[in-house]
Structure 1
């Protein structure tokens, strides 16, 4: 009888320990599993992109804000970068056809021709070159290659006087270098990058804060209202995108790769330190009092950089994944209209005050580049969640 009581007590204790163990395991599992669902990520990318494609069925139609602009300018170029990223994870022929139609409507040309030095004119080349790789028709590469060759031949390398330009043009040089197996493109893009980083305005990169000033107008003694340096969110996002896209392209043996990688990692550290509690970043990274509030385009570019770094084993997932997931969930839950329109998107400009006020319902002067940033981010997040990719 005594033995039966001992056995019963032992059995009960085992059951209790088992239940506690299961509960603990379940709790651990819930904290380590991703809070992002890959099907929801793909669904929202399709929704936001369909909204835009339906709104702009004519890919050659000029864009009107305060004046008419051709639709192969940088804002639309960034959208197509995002569309091509989406196409890599979601092989919908509509995306490819839409991009090809855009190139054909502009005769695969640049806004100011093959002698332009403006990086904003060269941004379209990123998609032209992607499409050339899929179907190597010579007209797709002719003008963009002629333009970059013209820039190199000039010997002038101080064109990137604002950090947005690094994203618009640098990946074009990188891609041509890879396609033609020609280090000339790599060497020249480094000269241009190094000028922006170390020379322009005394150097636009601040190693102390691990962030970039937008252009020489914002290098100290310029200060924000709270006394901090002015680091514009989307401007730093453009540098993130440039470094990600270049590192994704250039070979491991490229002589300046280590510097690009170091700059990328430092920038990620600088950004991690100033994320808002709600997951977004402010337009002014070090001054939440200067037009503070949620902003989607910078946040999306930072998510893009973090997800890519985790995917490629370059960022510590334990450190960066919670920040990335918080940011993605913030955009997913707070910024997307049922129609697919993106809210909290700052319009074009160069500093926190531009394009204000930014709200859920505010409409920026251009809708395209913000969506491009969001598609880049979401496509990389999807890769992280899809083990096949």
Structure 2
């Protein structure tokens, strides 16, 4: 006798699985990216985590610009390049106020990308001048958390997204090895300090070492997303045969393998990477950075498509489901330094930037030209 209940249940599960593993179409990726980019530009001066909008040169917006410049290269018109150029011009192409602080270097990534496109020295010179000063007056501070002037060096993992790619781009543009050498020394010092070899993940900073959250080591999703995306952005500026590239590739491969193991069944990564049972809420900024890194790794041949492709597909489909009809990306964890909360109707500019970075590589992965 045929059990209709079992057949019905099987059909439901089959339909559910088919919808979740929907084939990604490059034109749909592009359309969603456009919607997110346009919504974010329209709401650029809104308040998000705090009751005031972020300064245009703040790291939050810097992460947005990193993604937006990738989208600008894909768009059919110069609207997005014009928007980015206007921001640079209004701020005289200067970095934010703090000379040494990595957060205030983030905007240099989009400045130097625009320099590559327009070859206008005013887009390059202020960043180059400031980094020359840093090189010749290097911070001698400790990497220990809350030691005097500690954030003059990269002693929190977010910093590895903010500043090192700017040094790598400066090296690529000028072909002056001093920028690469400085970046390598500082990156290695941070990695030696914050990277957990057993878990293949980075502590956010020293204050989280030795602490447990519901019995698990505390590895913040977005913090590791910052690092993972930063590695891709650095390697994109280096020769694949170089020893420097191979150093970053080694870390990248370890992190990728770990991320594959700890992806949630829903496709995202939990805010506390090793404690997903206690953090079931989706979080889209860390997930977007991970998707960007994984898709970039496949596109460059570092990662095997058959192994990592399903994880990218599942995560991208999840991310798209959190974009509302107007183009706002939801479930972006507010500014913080540790696992926390996120909501479907809350966003942040860095979340949109991470999503646009992810989309730029997913688009290529699925055949976009």
Range into which the TM-score falls when normalised by the shorter chain: 0.7 to 0.9
**Which residue is equivalent to 1:343?**
330
Stretch of structure 1 that moved more, 93-102 or 131-140: 131-140
Structure 1 residue matching 2:120: 3-state secondary structure: coil
For 1:287-366, list aligned pairs within 5 A.
287-333=275-321, 335-353=322-340, 356=341, 358-361=342-345, 363-364=346-347
Matched, 1:197 2:188: no
Name the counterpart of 2:204. 214
Number of residue-to-residue matches in the alignment: 340
Q: Tell me the distance in 2 between the aligned counterparts of 1:49 and 1:176.
A: 27
1:86-165 matches, within 5 Å, as 86-112=71-97, 116-156=99-139, 159-165=153-159
1:65 aligns with 2:50: yes
TM-score (norm 1): 0.83
Distance in 2 separating the partners of 1:112 and 1:383: 36
**Counterpart position of 2:179:** 185
Partners of 1:47 and 1:68 in 2: CA distance: 21
Residue 353 of structure 2 corresponds to 372
Alignment-derived partner of residue 244 in structure 2 = 256
Q: Is the 8 A contact 2:49 2:335 kept in 1?
A: no
Partner of 2:366: 385
Deviation at 1:256, TM superposition (A): 2.0
Task: Report the Cα offset of residue 385 of structure 1.
Answer: 1.5
Q: Match for residue 84 of structure 1? A: 69
What are the ranges of 5 or more consecutive residues in structure 1 without an aligned counterpart?
Answer: 1-29
Equivalent residue for 1:13? none
Using the TM superposition, name which of 240-249 and 152-161 deviates more: 152-161
**Runs of at least 5 residues in structure 2 that lack an aligned partner in the other structure:** 1-17, 144-152
Structure 1 residue ranges, 4+ long, deviating more than 6 angstroms after superposition: 61-64
Q: What is the CA deviation profile of residues 92-113 of structure 1, one whole-angstrom value per residue up to 9, with x for unaligned ones?
A: 2100000000101111112216
CA RMSD of aligned residues (A): 2.1
- Once the two structures are TM-superposed, the CA of residue 55 in structure 1 deviates from its matched residue by 2.2
1:106–1:261 distance in 2 versus 1, CA, 3 Å: same
Alpha-carbon distance between aligned partners in 2 of 1:285 and 1:331, rounded to the nearest angstrom: 17
Q: Deviations over 1:153-189 (max 9, x none)?
A: 1233650010100100000000111111111111110
What is the CA–CA distance in structure 2 between the aligned matches of 1:66 and 1:191, rounded to whole Å?
A: 38
For the pair 1:242 / 2:230, whether they are aligned, the reply is yes
Which structure would you say has the larger RCO, counting Cα contacts within 8 Å and 6 or more residues apart?
2
